[in-house]
Amino acid sequence: MQVLALNGVNLDTLARRDPAVYGGVSLNELESRIYGWAHALDISARCRQSNSEGEYIDWIHDSYDNVDGLIVNPGAWSHYSYAIRDALELLTVPFVEVHLSNIEGREEWRRHSVVADLAAVRIIGKGPDGYREALQFLAGADAAK
């Protein structure tokens, strides 16, 4: 099974962000954990992060015929990027929307995700462990085929 984990805008600055909100890890530490969890589940994972919305969309397009599932954390784009939503809508494989923080308990503008209704499952507010849960879900979804 091949999974692509896409992290969006500002997630490259995790180590500088409030650890009480974002889990206190750097992007490199998060990606190392994802690779370790994937290995334990016998999944091949690839992690990517971009602050460029177009590049993020290109990676979604590139995944259409090349992966079995996606983990997406678009960051702030979750709240307004219909371009990302349109790209995700064309997927024929499941994707999991992950947010490190509990976006539903934060500022009003963060509470809405334009991709939420497309996601196979949403995992919010579980810090880095949300990615492990997403991998476990995708491994189970693959086994159900």
Q: Is the dihedral of CA 56, 61, 65, 68 positive or negative?
A: positive
Per-residue pLDDT at 142: 61
DSSP 128: T
Query: What pLDDT is attached to residue 34?
Result: 98
Q: Which of 35, 64, 80, 99 is catalytic?
A: 99
Say how far apart CA 103 and CA 139 lie, in whole Å.
Answer: 25
- Identify the pLDDT of residue 50: 98
What six digits make up the tokens of 43?
């999944």
Residue 7 pairs with which residues in a beta bridge?
49, 73
Rounded CA Rg of the chain: 14
128-145 average pLDDT score:
87
Token pair of 122 as six digits: 């949403």
> Can you give the pLDDT at residue 106?
72
**pLDDT (average), residues 100-116:** 82
The Cα 133–Cα 54 span in angstroms is: 28
Residues 6+ apart with CB under 8 A from 108: none
Note if 22 is an active site residue. yes
